[in-house]
Amino acid sequence: MKTGYFGKYGGRYVPETLIPALEELDAAFKALKADAGFQTQLRKLNAEYIGRPTPLFFAEKLTSQLSGARVYLKREDLAHTGAHKINNAIGQALMAKQMGKQRLIAETGAGQHGVATATAAALFGLECEIYMGAIDAKRQALNVFRMKLLGARVTEVHAGSQTLKDAINEALRDWTSNVSTTHYVLGTVFGPHPYPTIVREFQSIIGKEAKRQILKAEGRLPDYLIACVGGGSNAMGLFHAFLTDKRAGNIKYIGVEAGGEGIDSGRHAARFAGGSMGVLQGTKSYLLQDDDGNVLGTHSVSAGLDYASVGPEHAWLHDINAVKYTYATDTEALGAFETLARTEGIIPALESSHAVAEALKIVPGLPKSSIVIVNLSGRGDKDVEQVANMQSASV
């Protein structure tokens, strides 16, 4: 496969001024990946700071209620800061420190990546600026406060749709002007090469752990892996270790996008249900766009899934039928949010609720001998006020 590409997807579509920074990053990543000292430090941080391994929890009551397959939850919501985002933020911040950078910048939608980056910056003594769409900042006010408390500057973006796409645009502009001192901690398996590979590498610990844990719990590999897909880092994090294991040939992988108010409504972020190949923010992938190539507006109840494109490796996995991509609507995700809270005492992030919604659909029809792992990518503290306001508005 051509370097920087997954089939025909991926690449590096950026201004010439960013090419040296990307090449520097690629070289540093390859060197540090093979550096024993770096890896030892990263393992120590994973264990003692992030709190890894995160548990693989057998959802006994949910399994009984659905009366189908055995359901396990990979508890990334129990990682420090409350989501899988910290795995990548700590890894990239450690790289930035090794590269001599003094400042971190990041984009964020749901706010969890912003919180994770601000946390890593505080840990390593680096300056930090987070770009966030104004709409996302309003619906994720708690995370905005957390970022500021951690010492980060939060810059709200009022251009365009005022969501994640526009936050990325501003972060890229910043990086273009400050490449010598600044590292851009891109939060998902998206963007120009080498970011999709770097982020996947730092998130792949999810699947490595889950594989060991399910073998210990059940003595075999699972039948289904389910994860929500925005940019797609938590899904690639879970899937990758299994996709590269020859023993895992019979596993079915399901990525769940944001169906919003339904595909026919046009108010959704389901790229594989309504998108086509295009280039956005440095990479070639599936993209929600009109016939003239203009990026379409998106909608999701979850800020972290509200994005017009998807990671290029996901596009490739879709085309080769290695992963099935489906979607859950806002209504289904909100239903799953409440179901998991009441059944297992776990409040999931609205992003993760899309994956839970898919499990609620398919598990009752599966044999009781089947095993399903759902990646619970984040906790729902950040979403409780939003859901409460939505419920009040509907009364």
Q: Which residues pair with 277 in a beta bridge?
A: 286
Q: How many CB atoms lie within 10 A of CB 291?
A: 6
Distance of alpha carbon 55 from alpha carbon 78, whole angstroms: 8
H/E segment holding residue 190: none
Q: Which residues pair with 5 in a beta bridge?
A: 10
The 3-state DSSP class for residue 228 equals strand
Give residue 356's identity as a one-letter amino acid code: V
Give residue 250's identity as a one-letter amino acid code: N
The alpha carbon of 390 is separated from its chain's Cα centroid by a whole number of angstroms, namely: 24
Q: How far apart are the two ends of the chain, measured CA to CA in Å?
A: 54
- Residues listed for the chain: 395
Task: Provide long-range contacts, Cβ within 8 A and 24+ apart, for 149-154.
Answer: 150/115, 150/118, 150/119, 150/121, 150/122, 151/118, 151/121, 151/122, 152/114, 152/117, 152/118, 152/121, 152/128, 153/128, 153/129, 154/114, 154/129, 154/130
Active site residues: 85, 107, 377
Question: Is-contact 236 311, C-beta < 8 A?
Answer: yes
